[in-house]
C-alpha cells in the first residue's frame, strides 16, 4: 500500500463502483496521468460469497495486467495486491465510456457504430487467441477514445482456457450475459453475444431484453424474446438485422462460431454505410485490406492496427504528385488503389501498382537523402502516408517488423537491378562488333 501511495498522487475521483473507486492520478515515476483503480477495503474484510467473487475478480485483473497488448485494449501500466487492498494503474482516457451513446438522442452515426463494433471485435479476437474470454462486455467497460475509437477495459471477470482456482464464475452483467453462461458454460461466443447486445443498444438506444425482475429477464434471454432491430430502426441497412440476429442467437449452433466471422460480416456492411465517395474507406475496411497484403504478413494484428492509426489516408485524382524529385524525404507511402509512374529528370523509370510500398529507403538513413525521383498518379489513387517521425516513436514490435519489411524490399530491388544489369551485359557481349 505504501509503495503505490508514494508513486501516485491522487488528483480527483473519476468514478465509484461496488468493488472500488477510480481516480485521476499523477504517476510521479513515469510523469504521466493515469486512471488509478483502488479496491474498497471492505472487500478484503469478509468471506461471504460476494466478497470472495470480487476478490477473485481483482486477482484476475492483476494477473492479466501486461498480458494483453492491443491498441483497442486499455493498457495497464502497474498493478498490485496485498492482504487488505489492490490497485491498478491504467491508461487514462478522458472521453468516458460508451454509456452516454446508448441513450435516445445521443446515438452515434451508423458508420461510427460499426467502426466501434469492429475494433471491439478485433481486440476480443486477439484476447481469444490468447485464451481469454472477457465475459463482461458492456458499454460501461468500453472506453470512448474519440470518433470511431474505443478501448476495452475491466478484465476482472475474464476467463481463460486452463484449470485455475482463481477463475471467476459468478460475476457479469445479466442484461449482457449469453444464455449458456447461466449454466456456467464459457465459450468465446459469450463475448460475441455481449457485443451484439452493445451493438443493439448503440443503434436503437435500448436493450434488446427488458423485464421487471432478474428471473423474468433470464426467461426472455433464454427464449430470445426481443424486438428485431428493423422493427425499431427500419432505416438501417438490411444486413445489420441479419448480423445482430446471428450475434444474439440463443443457440450456439446459430450464433457466429468465431470472431473472424464477425469481423468479415462487419466489413461487408461498411460499403452500405459509406459517406462521401471521395473519402478514404473506414478504418475497419482498411485494416482488412492491409491484412490481406502479402507485403505486411509479418505484422501481427496489434502492430497492423498501430500502423493503420499512424497513417494519413487520402484519395487523389490522376495527375497528383505524391513525391517530388529533390524534395526532403519525411514519409513513406503505400499505394492501395490505382497506378503511379516514377520519373527521374523527366524520364520514366518505373510503374507502381496497388500494394506497393515506396519512399521507405530514406527511413534507414541517419540523415534522409533528398528524393531521387518523382511519383505521379496515373489514375485516381488511394494511398497511405507514414511520417518517419511517427514510425520512430512506434512500439519496438512495429519498428522491428517494419525494418524487416523495408530491408526485404531493398534486397528484392537490388536483386531486380542486378538481374537487369546482367541482362544488359549479356546483350552487349552478344552484340556484333
Residue indicated by cell numbers 443498444: 201
Residues 356, 365: Cα–Cα separation, whole Å = 21
Which candidate in 136, 212, 235, 418 is catalytic?
Answer: 136
Residues 187, 178: Cα–Cα separation, whole Å = 10
Residues 6+ apart with CB under 8 A from 70: 122, 123, 126, 127, 301, 302, 305
Cα separations in angstroms, 169 against 47, 135, 158, 193: 16, 9, 9, 17
The answer to whether 6 touches 80, Cβ cutoff 8 Å, is no
Nearest CA to 392 out of 312, 347, 330 is that of 330
Residue indicated by cell numbers 432478474: 214
Cell of 209: 431484453
Q: Check if 136 is active-site.
A: yes
Supply the residues annotated as catalytic. Answer: 136
Amino acid at each position: 500500500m505504501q509503495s503505490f501511495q508514494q508513486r501516485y498522487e491522487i488528483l480527483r475521483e473519476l468514478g465509484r463502483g461496488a468493488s472500488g473507486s477510480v481516480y485521476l492520478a499523477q504517476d510521479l515515476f513515469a510523469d504521466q496521468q493515469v486512471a488509478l483503480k483502488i479496491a474498497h477495503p471492505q472487500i478484503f474484510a469478509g468471506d461471504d460469497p460476494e466478497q470472495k467473487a470480487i476478490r477473485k475478480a481483482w486477482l484476475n485483473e492483476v494477473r492479466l495486467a501486461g498480458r494483453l497488448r492491443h491498441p483497442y485494449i486499455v493498457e495497464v501500466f502497474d498493478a498490485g495486491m496485498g492482504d487488505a487492498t489492490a490497485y491498478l494503474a491504467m491508461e487514462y482516457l478522458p472521453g468516458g465510456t460508451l454509456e452516454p451513446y446508448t441513450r435516445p438522442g445521443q446515438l452515434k452515426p451508423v458508420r461510427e457504430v460499426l467502426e466501434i463494433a469492429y475494433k471491439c471485435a478485433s481486440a476480443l479476437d486477439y484476447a481469444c487467441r490468447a485464451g481469454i474470454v472477457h465475459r463482461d462486455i458492456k458499454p460501461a467497460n468500453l472506453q470512448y477514445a474519440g470518433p470511431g475509437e474505443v478501448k476495452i477495459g475491466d478484465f476482472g471477470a475474464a476467463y481463460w482456457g486452463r484449470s485455475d482456482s482463481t477463475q471467476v464464475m459468478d460475476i457479469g452483467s445479466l442484461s449482457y450475459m449469453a444464455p449458456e453462461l447461466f449454466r456456467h458454460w464459457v465459450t468465446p461466443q459469450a463475448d460475441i453475444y455481449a457485443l451484439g447486445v452493445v451493438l443493439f443498444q448503440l443503434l436503437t438506444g435500448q436493450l434488446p431484453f427488458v423485464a421487471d425482475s432478474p428471473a423474468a429477464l433470464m426467461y426472455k434471454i433464454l427464449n430470445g424474446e426481443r424486438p428485431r432491430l428493423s422493427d425499431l430502426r427500419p432505416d438501417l441497412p438490411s444486413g445489420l438485422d441479419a448480423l445482430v440476429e446471428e450475434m444474439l442467437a440463443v443457440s450456439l449452433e446459430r450464433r457466429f462460431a468465431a470472431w473472424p466471422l464477425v469481423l468479415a460480416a462487419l466489413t461487408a456492411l461498411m460499403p452500405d454505410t459509406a459517406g462521401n465517395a471521395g473519402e478514404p474507406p473506414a478504418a475497419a475496411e482498411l485494416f482488412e485490406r492491409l491484412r490481406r497484403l502479402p507485403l505486411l504478413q509479418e505484422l501481427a494484428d496489434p502492430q497492423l492496427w498501430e500502423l493503420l492509426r499512424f497513417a494519413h489516408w487520402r484519395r487523389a485524382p490522376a495527375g497528383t504528385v505524391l513525391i517530388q524529385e529533390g524534395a526532403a524525404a519525411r514519409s513513406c507511402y503505400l499505394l492501395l488503389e490505382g497506378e503511379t509512374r516514377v520519373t527521374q529528370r523527366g524520364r520514366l523509370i518505373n510503374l507502381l501498382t496497388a500494394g506497393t510500398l515506396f519512399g521507405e529507403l530514406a527511413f534507414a538513413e541517419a540523415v534522409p537523402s533528398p528524393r531521387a525521383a518523382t511519383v505521379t498518379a496515373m489514375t485516381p489513387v488511394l494511398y497511405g502516408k507514414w511520417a518517419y517521425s511517427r514510425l520512430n516513436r512506434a512500439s519496438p514490435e512495429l519498428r522491428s517488423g517494419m525494418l524487416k519489411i523495408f530491408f526485404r524490399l531493398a534486397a528484392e530491388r537490388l536483386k531486380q537491378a542486378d538481374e537487369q544489369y546482367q541482362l544488359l551485359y549479356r546483350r552487349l557481349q552478344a552484340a556484333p562488333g
